[in-house]
Every structure is written in structure tokens, then in C-alpha cells.
Amino acid sequence: MKPLLIVSGILVASAVGAGVAISPMLTSAKAVRDDGPATTQSISQNPQGAQAKGAQGNAAHAEAVAPAPAPAPPPVVTPRKNYTYKSFNVDGNYIAMTFDDGPNPETTPQLLAILKERGIKATFFVLGNMVAKHPEVLKMIADEGHEIGSHSWSHPQLTRISQAAVEKELGNTSEAIFQVTGKRPMYLRPPYGSMKPSLRTMIEEKYGLTTVNWAVDPNDWKFRDSQKVHDAIMAQVTPGAIVLAHDIYPTTVAAMPRVLDELIAKGYKFGTISDLIAMDKTPKVQLLAALPNTGKPQQAQQKPQKPKPATASAKPDGAKPASKPAAGAAQPPRAGGVY
């Protein structure tokens, strides 16, 4: 029995010895091959190196996530008083794209995607009743940085309704926009472009709304044809123009990619109404000439030429001057259409 025990002891000792000699080799080989993510074990083997690497990583991370410098404040916008904007006198090929009668849940998001792809900001003149129906679409417009103006609640011709009705149309629309965006509109596009000086003054003083019409009209409400919309805009556009369109018509939205791409190719740049008002360089003399509806500049010029009492009293039949009927007929109703 003893020889067996001796042999067994030798075998056990050899096995233990072999194990002692092999295990460091296995550990070393594993360390060399481990190129995966660091584990608790691998970090503990070289704490100083890991800390140094971690410090470098933290510094690089801090540098990578350093906050961007604050954006420049928006330009100070001071719209002209008692004035209707149709275009601007600007240095450069700047124009304002404007869209009326939305928001529409189908076509407006499509237009927003087109504008976003090209980095273009526009101004949307919305109807209050459409805001009430589709507040989520109005929020999309605001969230993507576009400007929002009022187009009244239900699109009446403001010059043909009572002042109380006008106040309801505009007050309710401003409130609806405020409830969704947290901001009240600064601009009004009167339906059909219809406005008169006294009404404009009241609206401006009571609601802080500046009247904005347009210089380029493709009549897209009438011609539901993308090619015609494209051709009309390209034929009429000039630097400083306000372009009118409607985001409720699929044919208009379908025309926009080609229109915008060709305008960009021609060197045009785009801004909101506020952007272009901030850049506007229209001289005051030109502004006075642009307000013939008030009649004040014309009266001031005619006064020196009027001292002719003999001529005025010598009318044989006492007939009224023909100028009064002409003035009364100077405001025919606008042709139909949705502006």
C-alpha cells in the first residue's frame, strides 16, 4: 500500500505544482487579449493610469458640451404708425414669404417641412376659427420659429362691418393665438386687403396691430395650378417684396419647392415681416407720398391754389362739383377672392 500512496502523493504534488505554474500564464494572457470595455477588475489593476485617463476624458467631455454662446438678440422692430406695408426698401435681395388662411392640418405641415429643409422663416396670417380647430398646427408653426399674424376670425371685409364686429373679429383671434403660443400677434393682414385710415388707426391703437398687405399676388386662390403659381411669383418678385400665398391649397404648397429653390438660385434671401421692417430704409418723404387715401397731402398742396371766390360763386346753376361723385365712386367693391 505504501508504494501506491507515494505514487499518488507524487502525482498530486505534480498536479498542484503544474497548477501553480500555469495559472499566472492564463491570467496574463487574458489581460493581453481583453480589449473590450473597461471592467472593475481592469480599472483596479492600474488605478493611476485610469484616473489620468478619466481626467482627460472628463476634460474632453466638458469641452465638448460647453454651452454655445448666447444668440444675438432679435432686431428692434418699430413698425411705422398709420401705415400699410406692401413692400420694403432694403439693402439686398430680401423678401418676405407670407401665407394666409391657415392653419390647415394637411397642407400646413407639408409647407413647414419644405421651409425647414431650406432654412426659411415665413409669416403666417392665420384665421382665428382655424386656430380654434387646429391649435396643434399653430403650435408647430410657432415652434419652428415662424412669425404669426392675424387674418381676423372668420374672414369678413373689415370695412363693411361695424366697429364692434371688427373688435370681436380681431380680439378673439389675438386671444386664440395667445392661448396657443403665449404671444399676441403684431401684424394684421385684413381680409381682401381692405382697409381705411380711420379703421387702421383704431386697430393699431387698440390691438397693437400693424397692417400688412402685399406686393406679389399669384392669385393662387383662383388658379389652382402649381405652374401658374410658380410663374406669377417669379414674374412679379423684386427685392423687398411681400409675397402673398395661401397654405390651404395643395397646388400652392406643391409649387413652393420649385419657387423657393429658384428664388434662392437668383440670390434671394428670406425673412419674416419683423425682419424686413427692421431693415426697411423707406424715406419719410416716400412714406407721405404712399398715403394718398387720407387726402391730407393733396389738400395741403391745393390750398394755395384755391383763393378764387369769384369763380366759385359764379356757377350758373349752383351744381355741385363733379369731384364729389367721383370720390364717392372711387371705392368700388373688390373683386371676389380669398386674400
Query: Read out DSSP for 252-319?
Result: HHHHHHHHHHHHHHTT-EE--HHHHHHH----HHHHHHT-GGG-HHHHHHHGGG---HHHHHT-TT-P
Q: Per DSSP, what are the bridge partners of residue 125? A: 100, 149
- For residue 246, indicate whether it is catalytic: yes
Catalytic residue, candidates 100, 101, 220, 247: 100
Q: Exposure string (b/e) for 112-127, b if CB count within 10 Å is 16 or more? A: bebbeeeebbbbbbbb
Q: Exposure string (b/e) for 288-311, b if CB count within 10 Å is 16 or more? A: eeeeeeeeeeeeeeeeeeeeeeee
- For residue 61, indicate whether it is catalytic: no
Dist CA 41 CA 49 (whole Å): 14
Cβ neighbours of residue 146 closer than 8 Å, sequence gap 6 or more: 112, 115, 121, 122, 123, 124, 272
Catalytic residue, candidates 246, 247, 275, 280: 246
* 151 within 8 A of 191, measured Cβ to Cβ: yes
Secondary structure (3-state) at 338 = coil
Could you tell me the CA-to-CA distances from 256 to 92, 108, 195 in Å, in that order? 22, 12, 29
As annotated, the active-site residues are 100, 246
